[in-house]
Each structure stands twice: as structure tokens, then as C-alpha cells.
Amino acid sequence: MTPGGTSRAPGVVVVTGISRYLGAQVAARLAAEPGIDRVVGLDPADPPPELAAMLDGVEHIRAGFDTAVTLLPSLDADTLVHLALVSTPEQGGRQAMKDQNVIGTMQLLAAAQQTPRLQRLIVRSSTAAYGASFRDPAVFTEETEPREVPRGGFGRDILDIEGYVRGFRRRRPDTTVTVLRFAPFIGSTADTTITRYFAQPVLPTVLGRDPRLQFVHVDDALTVLHRSIVEEHPGTYNVAGAGVLMLSQAIRRAGRLAVPVLETGLPGRGGLARPFGVDEYGLDQLDLFVHGRVVDTSRLIAEYGFTPRSTAAAFDDFISAGRGRRIYRREQLLAAEQAILDGIRRVRAGREIS
């Protein structure tokens, strides 16, 4: 098939978080894959109708991770795909988010350890694993250790989750473990904190900072996830689109306006966005908007033989979906430029005649 994949197709796949876009997409695609016997979705919540439609071939078990201990061995699962990550506090707040991310992963991995036939574990992680510090190198490779524990809850959760996965790797050396550190998702279909941020017409930024951003197109993320499940790719991989967009540059490409806000004047969590009526940006986003985050993806490209589309291309796809209101467009800028040049020419021509 493709490089790196000594493919032994999985029989029973358990996917967590199928009530969300990413989980539903992964599960649906697995269900359509001929070699796979059973695809089981483990999620206490029901998927919204638009996702439920695609989950026909997926058995949905409405249960929390606390039931996984009995569930996974009884299903005789050989592949576990852990996608149920919460990146921003929702109903229930930070405590519920931590419960799901950290405690949930702990329970799930404890169950996985007691599932004798488990061959593959795929865990969704994030480039937030690298933390945020002024002394950070410009580009993180998979070996880079975070210099400081992140201030944001999501970053701390990611560090905890990867810690549990390391423990699992030690105790179950017979299981192939793939950890995928995704850059923020973007694309015409993605709906995340970042895409909602860029959908506003006027965007708060941190005064005096222009962070380097990197995105991964959600379709490319799905490709990498699928390949990790049906093939063997042990290890930890950064998954991001090559290249960089500065925040100011991304805002300009989207035709939006930036409003710089004083960083020190920002009161703790959510301060960055509160004056703008959006309450969901936490310290994770603030750190990202101060420090930026860029990762090296050469390991992914070498192992998978797959290059995700570039950050700029992924962002272009998001812009083309036309979410939110543009304040200006490229064509208007071109027209304005032409108008000024024409004006000068006309004035000069008039002067030469007179």
C-alpha cells in the first residue's frame, strides 16, 4: 500500500467522541472500509442530526469512559481510536473539560491495558503539547520538551494525556501506539474556536505581538487518522500544514480588521475576547496569540509518505467558504490601486495639455 504500512486490517475498532465532527467522520469512513468487521462508537452524547446521518454502519454505545473497563474486553476490540478531546470549556466549565480529557483518558487507557487483543491505539493530541514560552525554539520537533507548563487548561490536559499514553506504551509494548499532535484544524467544514474567531469581522489581537500560526486542513487530519488506523505507524507525529501565516497576515487574507488589545490589561481567562462579545478564548488562545506555534512535520512526511496541504492553502479553503463578513476583498484593493494610478495619469495628462 503506502510506505510504513504493514497492513493487518483491524477487526473491531472502537472510536471515542463520535458525537463530534472528527469522531463521526473517522467512524463513518471506517464503517465504509470493507475489511473492518465492526466499528463501535463510544460516546455518552448523541451526535447532532447532520452527523447522525452518516453514522449508519456504526454501533453507538451511549456510555462514559467509566464503563470502558468492562466494555473494551467484552467487545474484544483490537483497535482503539481516542478522539474525544475537549479543547475549550463548554457546559460544565473547566472541571468538566478536565474530567473528560484527563480522567476520561486515564479510564480509557486502564481499560485498554486490560484488553488482551488490543493491537493498535491511536490518540489525538495537539501541538499544544509544546507549551508556550519566550525561550522556545522557533520550530518544534517531536523531541522538543515543553520549557514551561502551559497556562491554559487545554495545554495542561494534553501534557497529562500524553503522560498516560507514555505509561501505556511502557506497560503494553505489544500494542502499536500512534500519537498525533495536530495543529489547529481549519478548512471549509471545520468548526473550531479558531474558525469561529476568524469568522468575526473585527478580531482582537495582542498589542505588539504577531504570532506565527500553523493550521492543518481537517480533511488532511482525517486522512492521517484513517491511515493510522488501517496501517501501522508507531510513534508520535506532528500533523500540520507546511509553512506559516502570521496572525496579521491571516487576518488580512480573510479581509478582516485587527484590533490590538493590551496584553497586561487582559484579566486572566477570556480577557482577550470578552470586550468583543466572545467568551470562549482561554489562556490557551492567549498563549497562542502571544507566542505562536510552529512544528516540524518531516517525520510525518517520511513515515506516511503524505504531505498535508500547506497552512496557507488550508486557510484559503477556509476563507473560500465565506464564513462571516469580509470587510474588504482583494479585488477592491486592486481596483483602488488602479484608480489611484489612473488618477495620477489623468492629472499629469491634463497638466501637459494646459
Partner 1 sequence: MSAEHPRNGAGSPTSQGRRFEVPKQDQPVASANGHRPAVADQPGDVWDQRVASGLAFLRRRLAGDYDVDEFGFDPELTDTLIFPMLRLLYRDWFRTEVSGLEHLPRDDAGLVVGNHAGTIALDAMVLAAVLHDRHPTNRHLRLLGADLVFRMPFVSEIARKTGGTVACNADAERLLRGGELVGVFPEGFKGVGKPYSERYKLQRFGRGGFVAAALRTGTPIVPVAIVGSEEIYPLIGDIKPLARLLKTPYFPVTPTFPWLGPLGAVPLPSKWLIEFCPPIPTAHLSDAVDDPMVVFNLADQVRDTIQQRVNELLKRRPDPFGP
Residues in the site for partner 1, rule: CB under 8 A?
Answer: 134-139, 141, 144, 206-210, 212, 242-246, 248-253, 263, 292, 294, 296, 298, 310, 312, 328, 330, 333-334, 336-337, 340-341, 344, 348
Q: For the chain, report the end-to-end CA distance as a whole number of angstroms.
A: 76
Nearer to partner 1, 6 or 264 (CB): 264
Nearer to partner 1, 83 or 132 (CB): 132
- Evaluated on CA atoms 287, 259, 243, 192, the torsion sign reads positive
CB of 137 to partner 1, least distance (A): 4
CB of 139 to partner 1, least distance (A): 5
CB of 261 to partner 1, least distance (A): 11
- For residues 352 and 354, what is the distance between their CA atoms, to the nearest angstrom? 6
SS3 of 283, please? helix
Is the backbone of residue 235 left (phi > 0), alpha (psi -120 to 50) or beta? left
- For residues 42 and 274, what is the distance between their CA atoms, to the nearest angstrom? 35
CB of 272 to partner 1, least distance (A): 14
Nearer to partner 1, 117 or 252 (CB): 252
CB of 211 to partner 1, least distance (A): 8
- Evaluated on CA atoms 236, 240, 245, 248, the torsion sign reads negative
- Tracing cell 463513518 back to the chain, one arrives at 28
Nearer to partner 1, 33 or 296 (CB): 296
Nearer to partner 1, 145 or 174 (CB): 145
CA 225-226-232 angle, 5° bins: 85
- For residues 272 and 181, what is the distance between their CA atoms, to the nearest angstrom? 25
CB of 308 to partner 1, least distance (A): 11
Nearer to partner 1, 113 or 133 (CB): 133
